[in-house]
C-alpha cells in the first residue's frame, strides 16, 4: 500500500477494526511458526509505516477499543498491544 493512488488522490484512513485485523493475523502467523522473528519484525514495522502514511480513522480510544478484546481473548499479546500504541505515539 502507498499513501497515494495513481492520479494523486489520497487513500482513505485505515479503520481501527482493520488495524486490529492485521495485527491479529500477524500475531497468529507468529504463534503458528509461519513467520520467523526477523520477518515478523519487518511486517510489524510495515504495518506501523502504513498507518503513519495513511493515518488511522480514529484516535487512541477507538484503537484501544478495537485492540483490547484481542488482548483479552489472547489473539494478540500485551507486548504487541503496547508496542503498537507506543510506535504510533498513543501510549
Burial of 64 (0-12, 13-18, 19+ CB in 10 A): middle
Query: Looking at residues 86-90, what average pLDDT do you find?
Result: 93
pLDDT tens for 59-79 read 999 999 999 999 999 999 999
Which residue ranges make up each domain of the chain? 16-87
Q: Are 77 and 67 in contact (CB under 8 A)?
A: no
On whether the pTM is more than 0.85, the answer is no
pLDDT tens for 4-52 read 455 555 788 999 999 999 999 999 999 999 999 999 999 999 999 999 9
SS3 14: strand
Torsion angle defined by CA atoms of residues 10, 83, 40 and 54, in that order, rounded to the nearest 10 degrees: 0
Please give the grid coordinates belonging to residue 76: 494478540
Amino acid at each position: 500500500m502507498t499513501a497515494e493512488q495513481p492520479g494523486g488522490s489520497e487513500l482513505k484512513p485505515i479503520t481501527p477494526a482493520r488495524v486490529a485485523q492485521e495485527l491479529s493475523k500477524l500475531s497468529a502467523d507468529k504463534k503458528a511458526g509461519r513467520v520467523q522473528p526477523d520477518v515478523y519484525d519487518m511486517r510489524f514495522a510495515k504495518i506501523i509505516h502504513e498507518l503513519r502514511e495513511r493515518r488511522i480513522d480514529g484516535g487512541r480510544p477507538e484503537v484501544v477499543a478495537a485492540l483490547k478484546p484481542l488482548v483479552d481473548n489472547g489473539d494478540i499479546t500485551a507486548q504487541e498491544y503496547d508496542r503498537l500504541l507506543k510506535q504510533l505515539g498513543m501510549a
